Amino acid sequence: MNTMQFVLVILVALICGMASVMDERQFHRPIVACTLIGLVLGDLHTGIILGGSLELIALGWMNVGAAMAPDAALASTISAIIVIVGHQSIGEGIAIAVPLAAAGQVLTIFVRTIAVFFQHQADRYAAEANFRGIEWCHFGALLLQGLRVAIPTGAVAAIAGTSVVNQWLDSIPPVITHGLQVSGGFIVVVGYAMVINMMKARSLMPFFFIGFTLATFMTGINLVGLGILAACAAVVYVQLNPDFHDSIKAPAAATNVGTDDDDVLG
Amino acid sequence: MTELRKVEPLTKRDILSTYFRSTFMLGSFNFERMQAIGFCVTMIPAIKRFYHKKEDQAAALKRHLEFFNTTPWPASAIFGVTAAMEQKKAEGGDIDEAAITNVKIGLMGPLAGIGDPIYWGTARPILAALGASLALSGSILGPLLFFFGINIIRFLTRWYGFQVGYRQGTDIVQDVAGNRLKKLTQMASVLGLFVMGSLVSKWTSIKMPLVLVSYKQAGHVVNTSLQNILDSLLPGLVALLMTFACMWLLKRKVNAIYIIFGMFAIGILGYWAGIFGL
């Protein structure tokens, strides 16, 4: 890794770290982050494949309410560096990604706690109508989130590929690495479970089983085909659902409720 | 009755600035008031436009530093409504601080109820699954499809969300409670669950080569493995059961990371014991 690459890796990590808290432009998703690291390190192909593999694992990881997802950003950047610079297998990359996602989560909890201080500083600026000050608080906290990924990534980038690291990776017994690869085959279900739980739609679970059964027994159908079937099921369900047909449900209630001028709160 | 002052509405530039700020909304997420600073920073162009006295500005900043937390992208609709209310308040309309806060707080929950299933439950996992399936073969189309697909959805949600909110003002409250969005949420949930179901079957790989029965038939050794039996019953059954186990654990507030580590332990022990194979 030359100096230019080192700087670019840190820059990518900074962007991914900031994206991780914002959940806005999705740079922190493995499929994007690993691809970018691959691009910077001159091995786009490996980056894309690792990104795709990690994305499957992280598919359902999401921030809902106050709950926080495992951190995909740190996991993606560091494992991509280890796999590409350290010439490790994709399986190895997956194996180290998950503990890193846990570590990243701890770090972001730490930063989100520190951000409380920025919140109180913003209160003080608000009292003085200091717009600039509030903006500084906001983007300062954001920068910390970026650094939380950029610093560990930089540290790994500095030592990745050295014989010490490779020796250490090689010294992991095969029963562990193979076992981790085995679990890589089914660890995805944690993400699926997160999505299903979040939907809070017990009554719609038959659609889950229809999808499962079709995908199991219709060999040859791909995700696009299943997606089309799913979209059709969604449209038909809503069309037939009596909840959405006022005319069927309660004709008596359909009398015009007087539109209440412009009373703002209705 | 106080006479209404004429207040200049948001200019094109203000709207652009608000949009740009809104894309950094969660930057200072903290455990005390979550997205509060982000909300305030996004409202700054509107506050500057509507209020010119220092104490009015300070009061507006303060009320937008209150607790706020919802699904980020559709939150732009709330920014729109809030801007519309601030404008009315600045005009001297019949709106007090509490009304603005109440509408904000009142929209937060329902909007997350719509936004989470649509964006985090359906749009992103499906695009990610499509992208990842292409990426696994090393195709750059995978990351590009995901990145541009999700960002177009995000942009449209934010951009039009704000416009609709600003134009409709508090009328939007009825929209959020109304059937149209409920329909959309239900459709997204059906789509999402359907695809999750197929992914459980298609994108898990569990091999259980443990030989249960072994006998000789016409000189050949016939092995019946655990996998053979499960496959004749229902392929993908183990993945299905694992999914339900995870849902059960998650419902009991077990941290996802612990579950993932547990899965790793199962994988390693299972491989060591010969139950699972590569």
Indicate if B60 and B155 belong to the same structural domain.
yes
Is A90 in contact with A56 (CB distance < 8 Å)? no
Nearest to B198 among A141, A183, A212 (CB): A212
Residue B155 has pLDDT above 60, yes or no: yes
C-alpha dihedral over A172, A175, A176, A182, to 10 degrees? 140
Indicate if B148 and B236 belong to the same structural domain.
no
* A12-40 per-position pLDDT tens digit: 999 999 999 999 999 999 999 999 999 99
CA atoms within 13 A on the CB side of B237: 11
* B44-71 per-position pLDDT tens digit: 999 999 999 999 999 999 999 999 999 9
Number of domains in chain B: 2
Indicate if B91 and B134 belong to the same structural domain.
yes
Inter-chain CB proximity B135 and A35 less than 8 Å: yes
Beta bridge partners, B198, equal: none
Beta-sheet pairing, B211-217 with B220-225: antiparallel
- Structure tokens that stand for A101 in this block: 């996602």
Question: Which of B26, B42, B196 to mutate against chain A (most A CBs within 10 Å)?
Answer: B196
Indicate if B85 and B186 belong to the same structural domain.
yes
Beta bridge partners, B68, equal: B34
Indicate if B123 and B216 belong to the same structural domain.
no
Q: What is the mean pLDDT of residues A138-149?
A: 97
Indicate if B148 and B211 belong to the same structural domain.
no
Higher pLDDT, A247 or B161: B161
Indicate if B168 and B70 belong to the same structural domain.
yes
A39 and chain B in contact, CB less than 8 A = no
SS3 B276: coil
Indicate if B37 and B96 belong to the same structural domain.
yes
All structural domains of chain A with their residue ranges: 3-185, 201-253
Residue A137 has pLDDT above 50, yes or no: yes
Residue A246: band (very low, low, confident or very high) from pLDDT cuts 50, 70, 90: low
Indicate if B168 and B223 belong to the same structural domain.
no
Inter-chain CB proximity B116 and A64 less than 8 Å: yes
In a domain, B160, yes or no: yes
Rounded Cα gap, residues A184 and A95, in angstroms: 8
So what's the ipTM on this one?
0.89
DSSP output for B181-235? HHHHHHHHHHHHHHHHHHHHHHS---B---EEEEEEETTEEEEEEHHHHHHHH-T
CA-based Rg of chain B, rounded to a whole angstrom? 26
Indicate if B67 and B147 belong to the same structural domain.
yes
* B5-41 per-position pLDDT tens digit: 788 999 999 999 999 999 999 999 999 999 999 999 9
In a domain, B139, yes or no: yes
Task: Provide, as residue numbers in chain B, all residues whose Cβ is less than 8 Å from the Cβ of A64.
Answer: 112, 116, 120
Q: Identify the pLDDT of residue A45.
A: 97
* A195-204 per-position pLDDT tens digit: 999 988 889 9
Indicate if B212 and B175 belong to the same structural domain.
no
Around Cβ A164, how many Cβ atoms within 10 Å?
A: 9
Rounded Cα gap, residues B127 and B122, in angstroms: 8
Q: Identify the pLDDT of residue A162.
A: 82
Domain that holds residue B242: 205-273
* A87-135 per-position pLDDT tens digit: 888 888 888 898 899 899 999 999 999 999 999 999 999 999 999 999 9
Task: Provide, as residue numbers in chain A, all residues whose Cβ is less than 8 Å from the Cβ of B238.
Answer: 186
Indicate if B147 and B103 belong to the same structural domain.
yes
Strands (E), chain B: 211-217, 220-225
- Structure tokens that stand for B177 in this block: 């409670």
Please name the residues between 124 and 153 in chain B that touch chain A, using a CB distance below 8 Å: 124-126, 128-140, 142-143, 146-147, 150-151
Picking from B199, B221, B252, the residue at the C-terminal end of a domain is: B199
The closest of A59, A62, A17 to A36, measured between CA atoms, is A17
CA distance to partner chain B, nearest, from residue A108 (Å): 10
